[in-house]
Amino acid sequence: MSAMAPENAGKSRSEIQSEFNQVVALRDVSFDVKKGETFVVMGLSGSGKSTLVRCLIRLIETTSGSIFVEEEDVTSLSERELRDFRRTKISMVFQNFGLLPHRNVMDNACYGLEVKGISRLERYEKAQKMLDLVGLNGWEDSRVSQLSGGMQQRVGLARALAVEPEILLMDEPFSGLDPLIRRQMRSELAELQKEIKKTMVFITHDLDEAVTVGDRIAIMRDGEIIQMGTPEEIILNPVDDFVTEFTEDVSKERVLNVSAVSVDPDLIWTHSQDLTKLKDDLNTAGAQHVAFVNESGNSLGVLMRNDIEQIASSEELDHMLRESSPAILNSSNVRPAILKLANSETPVPVVDSQKKLLGVITQSSILKSLAE
């Protein structure tokens, strides 16, 4: 009887391990990665992340299932086709770098091109570009063993980029580095990705990292994907306690955008000139602030009740609206919004890209959603 038999599908990983003495590294793992997207796979150590990413490039053969890159099934490639696939379409960055200790930085960065049979002159030229890109200009002739961990991983990245792959696989590329360097490399990679726009599968065990680099995140446990979605979806709606525990350590303001923390204004006022009516309405509604809009719903500004009560003329009102805090876009990150709010005496209006008022953010609305 084999561990792969259909009747074993319901058994847990530990049951199969004790019954067949085989480890279920992955099962039921299914996902799509869009072109140019950074797909992050996250999970604790031993959850099967490395196995997953190695299956994509067939450093580990799958026992069943298929992997498609565009129209081509990677699992059915012949030995020679696989070699070509690895030489042209895909490359990988490793946790422990996997650099060649007997070569200098330049010749390490060239390795992929050399294997492809590209002439020395051409590969030096191409690799030089990548070394410049990752900030290693001037280190070409150094031995890799003389470099710091962060620099070594830059070499690894340059080597992977030099072959101009469409897909970049990264297996915990920054896990072996000091926390400070790790954070720096992480944000550098996020910057770099804006420029190179590779399709990327990024492995990490660190949700902070996942949130910084990932467009979408899959969370794995015991070889299975237990949740998949945008960073925001995962942090706001964790499917179970396991994911919740993961997400607890992440500062929410990094993934929230403004629309998630905005609320309806106390009062929306369109009849801009009628000051007496405004003051009456304020009293009846018990509103603390008023959001002003024009006829087409565009935001004009937000004012506090106390200020309005001292206004005598409509010119004064116009003046105050012009002076009030500028609106903030609903899709922007909540971090700069917090800063804006801190410098403002009134709630800040939230608008869409057409300047239409969608709501306001107040100190209490932000605090509430962060505390959730």
Partner 1 sequence: MSTTDKEIENLKTGTSRRVNISLKKIYFPSVVILATIVLSTMIHGAGFEFALDFPIDTSKEIEGFLDDSVDWIVINFGDFFDAISDALKVVLGKLRDLLVWIPWPVMMALVFIIGWKVASLKIAAMSVIGLAILATVNLWEPTMVTVAIMIVSVFLSIVVGVPVGILAARSDAVDTGIRPVLDTMQTMPSFVYLVPGIMLFGLGNVAAIFATVLYALPPCIRLTNLGIRQVDASVVEAGRSFGSSYMQLLFKIQIPMAIPTIMAGINQTVMMALAMSTIAAMVGAGGLGIEVLRAMGQLKEGEAIIAGCAIVILAIIIDRISQGYIENRTS
Ligand X SMILES: Nc1ncnc2c1ncn2[C@@H]1O[C@H](COP(=O)(O)OP(=O)(O)O)[C@@H](O)[C@H]1O
- By CB under 6 A, name the binding residues for ligand X: 23, 25, 43, 45-51
Q: Identify the CA nearest to 348 among candidates 367, 332, 362.
A: 362
Contact 356, 299 (CB under 8 A): yes
Q: Which stretch binds partner 1 (CB under 8 A): 96-104, 226-234, 240-248, 359-367?
A: 96-104
Helix (H) or strand (E) holding 357: strand 357-361
* Exposure string over 82-102, b if 16+ CB within 10 A, otherwise e: eeebbbebbbbbbbebebeee
Minimum CB separation of residue 49 from ligand X in Å reads 3
211-216 long-range Cβ contacts below 8 angstroms, 24+ apart: 211/235, 211/250, 211/254, 211/255, 212/186, 212/187, 212/254, 213/38, 213/40, 213/186, 213/189, 214/38, 214/39, 214/40, 215/37, 215/38, 215/39, 216/37, 216/38, 216/39, 216/40
Minimum CB separation of residue 17 from partner 1 in Å reads 24
How far is residue 178's CA from residue 182's CA, in Å, rounded to a whole number?
A: 6
Nearer to ligand X, 48 or 112 (CB): 48
Could you tell which of partner 1, ligand X, Mg ion, none binds residue 43, using a CB distance below 5 to 8 A set by kind? Answer: ligand X
How many residues are there in the chain? 372
Q: Which stretch binds Mg ion (CB under 5 A): 17-25, 45-53, 228-236, 258-266?
A: 45-53
Examine residue 84 and tell whether it contacts partner 1 (CB under 8 A): yes
Nearer to ligand X, 31 or 283 (CB): 31
Q: Which stretch binds partner 1 (CB under 8 A): 108-116, 147-155, 179-187, 350-358?
A: 108-116
| Count of residues interacting with partner 1 (CB under 8 A) | 25
- Contacts with partner 1 in 177-216 (CB under 8 A)? none
Q: Which stretch binds partner 1 (CB under 8 A): 7-15, 76-84, 183-191, 243-251?
A: 76-84
Phi, psi for 63 (deg, rounded to 5): -85, -25
Nearer to partner 1, 82 or 320 (CB): 82
Could you tell which of ligand X, Mg ion, partner 1, none binds residue 94, using a CB distance below 5 to 8 A set by kind? Answer: partner 1
Examine residue 111 and tell whether it contacts partner 1 (CB under 8 A): yes
**Positions that interact with partner 1 (CB under 8 A):** 57, 59, 82-87, 91-92, 94, 96-102, 111-112, 114-116, 159, 163
